[in-house]
Amino acid sequence: MATIQDVAKAAGVSAMTVSNVMNGHPNVRPATRERVLEAMDRLGYRVNVAARNLRKGRTGTIGLAVPEINRPYYGRLAAAIIAAAGRHGLRVSIEQTGASRESELAALSQSRNRLYDGLILSTVGMGPADVGALDVDHPVVILGERIFGGPVDHVAMPNEAAAEAATRHLVERGCRRIAVVCGRLGGEADVSSLRYAGYLRALAAAGLPADPELVVTAASLTMQEAARGVRERTARGLGFDGVFCVTDTVAMGVLRALADAGIRVPEQVKVVGFDNVDESAYLVPSLTTVDPDHDLMAERAVALLAARIDRGGPGREEFAGPFRLVVRESTGG
């Protein structure tokens, strides 16, 4: 494999000049540039990224830590982040945390390993008690939730407001006993708790009581758990006429369980999801859901991280994306 020295020799210049040509520096005479380019081409020269990284103290790669890439929401997010990173000249290395607190903390310390220039972390397992772990000296952006007081940048979903709007939509469509399907409620600033809070707010605003009977738990927010939870609930009789699901994935499990029980959507029960993953428009019935503008959030997250990489120092910026409700068949079109 040809090195910069080989090219320099072949072109009759110094390595420095070759470097300057490569990096588009000014002050290279056109004729020289030509000779160098020709030599590079002839030798099939490729820059050695490891050497460049060592010299520059950068790797050109950022890490993206998500619970599992194989879930529609994280897939959607990853796609947007890879695209956004590409626009910033960065590559993306993906790590799966399995939504466990330990793996999320491990991802944070990996980033200290200087594997990546920075890390975008989707926290699910970590809680406020782990804020201290965020105090690392490398660029980190938390994506998804708000961990109050953390010394890092955040790109947050409009969790509460959007959950409230989604639930209000059910109220407006005539629902009076609205169930919610969410993960474990620790009272912390995780997806489930924040969206649950929005759900409660909408109920209160509508003067509806909050019945603990209507809270269905799907601990790790999988289709399977959601379906099981709803089956258990309907086995005791249909005690609700609307369901707010904290994610679209959960909603898919819910729709399936309702179909199993022979309950018609939206006639008997109306369902709302959250995320607007690609599949939600194609489900039968198609799913009414919250669209949080993934592309914008991804772009902001990468932009924040890139800025932090360039400028250094800790950040505390917060960005909460916009959202809109996409009304489809599951709430009556």
Partner DNA sequence: TTGTAGGCGTTATCAC
Partner DNA sequence: GTGATAACGCCTACAA
CB 70 within 8 A of CB 94: no
Residue 1 sits in the site that holds DNA (CB under 7 A)? yes
Residue 72 sits in the site that holds a second copy (CB under 8 A)? yes
Residue 205 sits in the site that holds a second copy (CB under 8 A)? no
Residue 112 sits in the site that holds a second copy (CB under 8 A)? yes
DSSP-assigned states of every residue in 9-30: HHHTS-HHHHHHHHTT-S---H
Q: Which amino acid is at 70?
A: N
Interface region with a second copy, contact rule CB under 8 A, candidates 31-39, 119-127, 193-201, 247-255: 247-255
Strand, helix or coil for residue 118: strand
Strand, helix or coil for residue 256: helix
> Which residues in the chain belong to E strands, given as ranges?
61-66, 91-96, 118-121, 140-144, 153-156, 178-182, 215-217, 242-245, 270-274, 288-291, 318-320, 324-326
Count of chain residues binding a second copy (CB under 8 A)? 49
- The residue among 22 and 307 lying less far from DNA, judged by its C-beta, is 22
Strand, helix or coil for residue 88: coil
The binder of 284, among a second copy, DNA, none, by C-beta within 5 to 8 A per type, is a second copy
CB 77 within 8 A of CB 292: no
Single out the residue of 65, 189, 194 nearest to residue 128, CA to CA.
Answer: 189
The binding track of 280-319 with respect to a second copy, each residue x by CB under 8 A or -, is -xxxx-x---------------------------------
The binding track of 53-92 with respect to DNA, each residue x by CB under 7 A or -, is -xxxx-----------------------------------
Residue 20 sits in the site that holds DNA (CB under 7 A)? yes
Which stretches of the chain bind a second copy, using CB under 8 A? Answer: 1, 46-51, 53-54, 57, 59, 61, 68-72, 74-76, 78-80, 82-83, 91-96, 112-115, 223, 227, 252-253, 255-256, 259, 278-279, 281-284, 286
